[in-house]
Amino acid sequence: MSEIVAVYPGSFDPVTNGHLDLIARGAKIFDHLIVGVLQNREKAPLFSAAERVEMLREVTRQWPTVEVDVFDGLLVEYVRRRQARVIVRGIRAVSDYEYELQMALMNRRLEPQVETIFMMPDARYSYLSSRLVREIAQFGGRIEGLVPPVVEERLRAKVP
């Protein structure tokens, strides 16, 4: 039986405990899980792609089958290059589902051999997003328990 390689794509700006929940569970399901950091030139992220990759590598060290990489362009092209068969996407609410369904169907049209798997985070993280964490940090709010400690430190250093 061949190895099942999955790609979990996202901006991870910054990585949250919700992301880590999906990574931990994905590492149990797939033989190899690639966390693909999207380098979107149209967005102005708080952390550079290199910083996001560095943080992700640090917080995923415990899972030997997890790899962190960076990509740009079409996700299905990246998935093809990495010889993956699965795209992992997190869904927190019905509003996420509508967008993710549209993307999954388009990806299937572009690459019928690749499946999209939707995973729901633990209920503790169902409301959590990188955007909310950035906003809370920018206004000096408490972010303990929302992100790994190393990410919290980096956020505090980045946001005055």
| Given 32, 80, 82, 92, the catalytic residue | 92
Residues recorded for the chain? 160
| Given 28, 41, 43, 142, the catalytic residue | 43
CB 125 within 8 A of CB 16: yes
Facing residues of 36 across strands?
Answer: 9, 69
Q: Is 11 one of the catalytic residues? A: no
| Given 11, 52, 89, 130, the catalytic residue | 130
Q: Is 43 one of the catalytic residues? A: yes
Q: Is 32 one of the catalytic residues? A: no
The end-to-end CA distance of the chain, in Å, is: 51
Q: Is 92 one of the catalytic residues? A: yes
For the annotated catalytic residues, the residue numbers are: 19, 43, 92, 130
